[in-house]
Every structure is written in C-alpha cells, then in structure tokens.
Structure 1
Amino acid sequence: MKYLDMVIAEALRKWPPSVFTDRVCVKDYQYKDEENDLDFTIEEGSIVWIPILPLHRDEKYFPNPEKFDPERFSDENKSNINFGAYIPFGAGPRNCIGSRFALMEAKVILFHLLSKFSIDVCHETQVPLKLKRTFVGIVPETIKLTLQPRNHET
C-alpha cells in the first residue's frame, strides 16, 4: 500500500486535478527579487492565481520532472520535497476539503480493479500518451484500456 501511495502522489504531481488555485491577498505584500530585477507590491484584496502545473514540472523542485518516478515520494526521499511546490489539492486552510476522500477513493478503486483485472493499453492508445490542455486541466487525447479478468484459484 505504501507504493500505491507513492504512485498516486506522483500521478498527482504529473497530472494535478486542477492547473491553478487562487487566493485573495489579505494584506499588502512587497516582493523584491534583485537577481531578476523584480520589485512590486501585491495589494490587499487582490486575487492571486497560483499555477500548480508549472510548479509540479519545475526542475528546481522536482529533478527530471517529465519522468514518472514514484520513488520521489518514498519515506527516504520525502524530506527532499518542497511541499509548498507540491499542491495537487491546494495548500493551507483553504485546500480542497475532499482531498483525503479523493485519495482514499482512488486507492480503493485501484486496489479492486488491479485485484480482479489485468489492465493494458489497446492498440488505439497513443504511446507515449499525448496530452491536450483545456481550461480545467490536461487530459489525454486518446486513451483506451483493455481489462482481462484475472484467474483466481479458490
């Protein structure tokens, strides 16, 4: 089950359910970055959009970000993750209230599917998977799977 947690966490890093989250600034915030010659103020009441997908694909936070690597989320490697940059369900007191339920539901569904079926891509599925961007996120262009019942001896 630990590995299933790692696989789901990595899948959420590569393909988060939402591509951005937003927050309302509660007080003026001065941002200064001399290295990049940036100096500006985010004013109280401003809506700030936080891009999730670019954070999850930034090499600064996730080395070799295009690689699907569940080991990033192993017990040994968890301390290397900047959890301010890993926000598949948002962060802080306004994060998705259904995140724990969604994670548990995904695990239960995968467990039952994998215990009863072998799953494979069919010839119509593009390999490697090609994605298209929509306003609500990224989705596969075409994905079709075959399910073969597992032979269980009783």
Structure 2
Amino acid sequence: MSTPQDDDQLMALLAAAQQEVAEVSDTSRAAARAAFAWRTIDEDLMQLTFDSRLQDEVLVRGSVEGATVVGFQGADFSLEVERDTGELMGQVVPAAKCRVTLVTRAGDVLTVHADETGFFVLPLSADGPYRLRVQLGERVESTTWLDL
C-alpha cells in the first residue's frame, strides 16, 4: 500500500522526467533531423537534365508565361514533367506502367499510376517545394525537391 509520501516522491520523479523531455537540446534536434533524412536512403536520386526556366531566352528576357518543363534521368529511364495551371503532367520514357508519387514538404502524398505510354497527371493544389518518386517494379527513384 502506498503512502502519501510515496505518492509525492513519485509525482516529483514524474515531473522531473517530464521536464527532461521538454528540454530537447539543439544537438539532439540536429541528430533527429539527420536521422530522418536517411529514411529514403534506399531511393536513388534522379539527375536533373533540363529546366525550361534556365534557357537563355528566359534568362535574357525575364520570366516567360506558360508551362515550366523539367527533365530527369534515372538509371534506365527518363522523366519529363510539365507544370501548367493546377496540374503536373509527365511521362516516363521509355514507356512503362509505373507508380508516380508526389510528396510535399508538409508530408502530403498523392500517388497515381502512369498508363502504358508512361503518361500521368497529378493535380497540384499548392506551390512547391515537392518531389516526385517513380516506382518501376521494386526500384524507386526520386527527384530533387522542385519549386516550379
């Protein structure tokens, strides 16, 4: 049977433990962020091969209205993506049925299946940054973070 003194000691210990949890050091936070970044280490990163915003015409004359187009090279396929008003259209080349996933920085995930020509459409409800993941069979490759 517990006594009031035992209960008071227990409550003091619980309060001290709660205080320790509330005081997370910057070092612990940095370590946690670094560990979280490794969660997708099994994914290969596709290489950016084309960005329509970096074309000479855009750089000389300023912003060009219309769609933004980017291209990525994976291990054995390429990914071409075009952003236009409210949607992201793309194609995996050579054509293949695959899963394409849009991931936002907030952690929202939207997955669609590309058709037999490798074509897909993803609705965009907000601006980037976001990244795309392409899954062909067991292989998963990701783009860098995009802000189109």
> What range describes the TM-score normalised by the shorter chain of this pair?
under 0.3
For CA contacts below 8 A with separation 6 or more, give which structure has more relative contact order: 1
**Which of these two proteins has the greater Rg computed from alpha carbons?**
2
Q: TM (normalized to structure 2)?
A: 0.22
Q: TM (normalized to structure 1)?
A: 0.22
